[in-house]
Structure 1
Amino acid sequence: MEAVLDWERDIQKTDPKHEILKELDDKDSCYAILSHHWGMEVSYEEMTGLMKMGEEERKEVRECYSYQKIIKSCEQAKKDSYKWLWVDTCCIDKQSSSELSEAINLMYQWH
């Protein structure tokens, strides 16, 4: 969450190797959850690929409602003293059928 906010503040100067999406396998960590609505949402591929995109494509993603919703959610989670934020639309690599299947099976437990 902090990484996303730092990244958004200065996206042009962020190290592209900076870890934005991190797998958290810690049973003691508390995190906020942002669930999606049906429609156009920022994907895992878009979030992890922002630094590799051309300027116009990156601008298009960053200006869309769903990306701004993630940024605002990070800000709110930070205000509420959470260190982590789970966003189901961009925290699951849907190109990996095994990851998607595992995520669907664990969704109830996560929420």
Structure 2
Amino acid sequence: MGNIIKNALDHTEAKGRIEISCEDTAVLTEIVIRDNGAGIHPEDIHHVFKRFYRSRFSKDKTGVGIGLSLSKAIVELHGGTVAVSSKLGEGAEFHLIFPKLTNL
């Protein structure tokens, strides 16, 4: 989750907004990280979780492209899923969904 928040900070202007919310139900916990930053280019949206993927449109030249793939792998190791949606110039929204363990 920390890497997703760091990405939001890196791609949101100083006066921008980053929201983190959590919904807890009987069967799952969902964490949503939403920003009103630069957004993700439509050509990149289906690739952001690939290891070493770096957008040619990104202004950030320092990353190596493993942060989001590592975040996704960790969430999946906990039985969860990660989804992203974005509109260029309006921000991005990441959903981390973790199922609750049940006693059978």
TM-score, normalization by structure 2? 0.31
Structure (1 or 2) with the greater strand fraction? 2
Structure (1 or 2) with the greater helix fraction? 1
TM-score, normalization by structure 1? 0.30
